[in-house]
Chain A
Amino acid sequence: MHELLLFASVPAHQHHELLQQLAGLTAMQPRHRVERRLVFKAHRQPGLTNTRVGASQDLQGAELQRLNKMLNGGMFYTQVVGPVAQAEFGAKPASSGGAADVYMSGMEDKLSTPAYCYEDQSWKLEFRDIPEAGTRSAVTARLMASAALPKGDITIPMNAWGYSFVTEYVVEGDVFVLNDIVIFLHRVLLYPSGAQESHGPRRQLPAYRELSPLERTGSYVLQAAITVQDGGNQEMMKTASQHLFGLREQLKSAVRLEQADRLSLDTRAK
């Protein structure tokens, strides 16, 4: 699948106004969304890199070559995204063993303070390639793929696939849908530093108000995206960019949607 994107920076003071404008434009109420995002980085598996090239090349079967390429060729950062509710921040961790009891006995208690259960956290793997270089159209286009992951602790399977945990943050924002365009007005929130070291994802969430925006002034990022199933279909890609340009025109007086700097979206691990 391919993804076509336009971005804009939205100063904090404009955020409320833009929400209204987008609600009017898309004729829908904003859908608030809070996500945990974990950044993983591919690392070379020891023992797999030392295949000798050169003299032994002709001895490698095609299968082995392909495997090597898959394992060592492209090394990428990838993201694991898990939706959370704002109410789950700062909640007491529900012990995984006693969860059933809580459900059975204390429903009121459960409702008043919804617990965050890391074991029940659902995850989605989001792979994004580096945006295509040298595209003549003024949109960011990149290869993308998403896959559902098992619930709960995700580091073990990710490590098994050769990915190590880098960092995590929270994305908070509102989603609008205009025809085929998904508009996401969001900002990055950071966990309070020092509380827990970054060897793995947090098992419990701090209070929401303790999160600090990455951008100190609280500005937002406006992202307009169209997903194209068949990225090889030039006609379809062209139509999608046209739609994005249409949106850019409509929002021209409010924000300036632009192509993002390609290297800022570089997911290749060096």
Chain B
Amino acid sequence: MSALSKDQIKTLEQSRQRLIQLTHSLASLITSLNQGDPLPPWTSLQSQATIISNNLLTISAHLSDNRDLLSNIVAYPDASYPSRVPANNVALEQVLRTKLDPRVEDWVARGRHTGAADYGLVGTGLGEEVLSELWDWAPVEANQEARRRNWGGNFTLEERENGVQNVVTGLRKVLEDDDDEEEDSEEGEGEADEMEIVGVRRRSGAGAGLEFDIAAANPAAVAASSKVVVPVVPLDEVLRFMTTGVMPGQR
């Protein structure tokens, strides 16, 4: 068994460094998710995700570049390794494992499965026709789905039916199930901050295209806004009349 060359050691060292970077960025994402209450803004989450994805890319490139070397080298304990200290044994055992950790094996299996599925698709892809059909179908279907939901709550209807307490939110703070208030406010004429759901349906008659109808805003609000009348006499004039009896505009 020959000793490793300088280049090979450098490659190993690089892999180690990059893996460390990856674990660091993963750890920072996890801490920000755990400690941010409320959750950190999506911009920061997204930038962290980008960093992690870049890390993964470099690691993947690095690993495949040095595939020959990395698949051929094996670890073995040096005689000088202080294996009698029990704390060191853990690391030793990790290094000497020939099979993957069962958990990791699962991940790998899942990854391979997904990869295989994607790989299978790459060749075939979707035909133009199928794609346009999909695009035709999607907005209407998504809209119908959206209309079925009760927007503005912490839980979906299914979650509520199955019992809110069973939902794994992954959040530390306890979400309130504000179902009752919600129903009340819906009976009262809608809220200003409620999201408007845009109705989409196929335009009847000729041609392609969709019709959008904005859900009518709260009719009471519309009526009120039409009644808005700006006072014609400024406040100063009113006060002046109250003080000295000078009619507005007579000054």
Contact = CB atoms under 8 A, between A and B. Distances in A.
A119 interface: no
Nearest to B248: A214
Contact of A261 (B231, B239, B241, B248): B239
B133 interface: no
Given A214-B238, A260-B239, A9 B231 contact: yes
A36 interface: no
Contacts of B248: 214
A22 B215 CA distance: 32
B233 A214 contact: yes
A13 B224 contact: yes
A166 B243 contact: no
Interface residues of A, number: 30
Interface residues of B, number: 21
B223 to A, nearest CB: 10
Given A221-B238, A260-B236, A264-B237, A166 B244 contact: yes
Contacts of A169: 241-242, 245
Contacts of B243: 39, 77, 79, 128, 264-267
A90 B62 CA distance: 97
Nearest to A40: B245
Contact of B235 (A7, A166, A217): A7
Interface of B: 224, 227-245, 248
Q: Which 10 A-B pairs have the closest CB atoms?
A: A219-B231, A167-B245, A264-B236, A39-B245, A9-B235, A264-B239, A217-B229, A264-B240, A261-B236, A215-B233
7 contacts: A11-B229, A13-B224, A77-B245, A214-B233, A264-B235, A264-B236, A265-B239
